[in-house]
Chain A
Amino acid sequence: MNENYFALFGLDPAFNIDLTTLEDRFRKIQSESHPDRFVSGTNAEKLQSMQTATTANEAYATLKNPAQRAAYLLGLQGINALAETNTTMPASFLMQQMEWREALEDAKHARNTDMLEKLLIEMRLETKSLQSDLAHLFDKKKDLATASEATRKLIFIDKVITDINKAIEILET
Chain B
Amino acid sequence: MALLQISEPGQSAAPHQHRLAVGIDLGTTNSLVATVRSGVSSVLLDAHGHALLPSVVRYLPNGNIDVGYDAQSAQSIDPQNTIVSVKRFMGRGLKDIEVSNQPYHFAERADQTQANMLQIETRAGIKSPVEISAEILKTLKIRAENTLGGELVGAVITVPAYFDEAQRQATKDAARIAGINVLRLLNEPTAAAVAYGLDNASEGIYVIYDLGGGTFDVSILKLSKGVFEVLATNGDSALGGDDFDRRIFCWVLEQCKCKPVNAQDTRTLLTKAREAKEWLTDHANAQITSILSTDEVVNLSLSTQQFNELTQNLVAKTLIPIKKALRDAQLCIDDINGVVMVGGATRMPQIRLAVTDFFKQAPLTNLDPDKVVALGAAIQANTLAGNKSDKDLLLLDVIPLSLGLETMGGLVEKIIPRNSTLPIARAQEFTTFKDGQTAMSIHVLQGERELVTDCRSLAQFELRGIPPMVAGAARIRVTFTVDADGLLSVSARETTSNIETNIVVKPSYGLSEEEILDMLKNSFNAAETDKKARALAEAKLEAQSLLLAIDAALGKDSNLLNQKEMQTIAAQMNALRSLLDKDSEAAVEVIHSATEQLNIATESFAAKRMDASVSHALAGKNIDAVNL
Contact = CB atoms under 8 A, between A and B. Distances in A.
Nearest to A120: B327
Given A35-B484, A50-B423, A54-B424, A172 B320 contact: yes
A54 B422 CA distance: 7
A40 B484 contact: no
A54 B484 CA distance: 10
Contact of A39 (B225, B384, B421, B423): B384
Interface residues of B, number: 30
Nearest to A56: B421
A31 B383 CA distance: 13
Interface string A35-52: 111011000000000100
Interface stretch (A57-65, A73-81, A96-104, A149-157): A57-65
A57 B327 contact: no
Contacts of A37: 391
Contacts of A34: 394, 396, 484
Contact of B423 (A53, A168, A172): A53
Contact of B425 (A31, A35, A39, A54): A54
Nearest to B394: A31
Contacts of A53: 423, 484
Nearest to B227: A27
Contacts of A85: none
A169 B328 CA distance: 11
B395 interface: yes
B394 A172 contact: no
Q: How large is the interface on A (under 10, 10 to 19, 20 to 34, 35 or more residues)?
A: 20 to 34
Contacts of B423: 35, 50, 53-54, 57
B420 interface: yes
Contacts of B154: 39
Contacts of B391: 31, 37
A173 interface: yes
A59 to B, nearest CB: 11
A165 interface: yes
B324 A36 contact: no
Contacts of A40: 384-386
B429 interface: no
A40 B327 CA distance: 37
B420 A61 contact: yes
A40 B21 CA distance: 12
Contacts of B394: 27, 30-31, 34, 36
Query: A interface, by DSSP: helix, strand, loop or mixed?
Result: helix
Given A54-B423, A54-B425, A57-B423, A36 B384 contact: yes
Contacts of B225: 27
B392 A57 contact: no
A57 B421 contact: yes
A168 B327 contact: yes
Interface in B318-370: 320, 323-324, 327
Contacts of B385: 39-40
Given A40-B386, A50-B423, A53-B423, A30 B396 contact: yes
B402 to A, nearest CB: 12
Contact of B422 (A57, A168, A169, A172): A57
A50 B483 contact: yes
Nearest to B319: A172
A58 B396 CA distance: 13
B183 interface: yes
A103 to B, nearest CB: 19
Contacts of B320: 172-173
Interface string A16-37: 0000000000010011001111
A58 B426 CA distance: 9
Interface string B212-256: 000000000000110101000000000000000000000000000
A19 to B, nearest CB: 13
Contact of B424 (A27, A36, A58, A165): A58
A40 B481 CA distance: 20
B540 interface: no
A36 B421 contact: no
A157 B394 CA distance: 34
Contacts of A35: 423, 483-484
A168 B320 CA distance: 11
B277 interface: no
A31 B390 CA distance: 12
B327 A36 contact: no
Contacts of B421: 57, 60-61
B173 to A, nearest CB: 19
B327 A165 contact: yes
B184 interface: yes
Nearest to A124: B330
Contacts of B396: 30, 34
Lowest 5 A-B CB distances belong to which pairs? A39-B384, A35-B484, A57-B421, A54-B425, A54-B423
Interface of A: 27, 30-31, 34-37, 39-40, 50, 53-54, 57-58, 60-61, 165, 168-169, 172-173
Given A35-B423, A60-B421, 4 more contacts: A30-B227, A39-B384, A54-B424, A172-B324
13 contacts: A27-B224, A30-B394, A31-B394, A34-B396, A36-B380, A36-B383, A36-B484, A39-B154, A39-B184, A50-B483, A54-B425, A61-B420, A169-B324
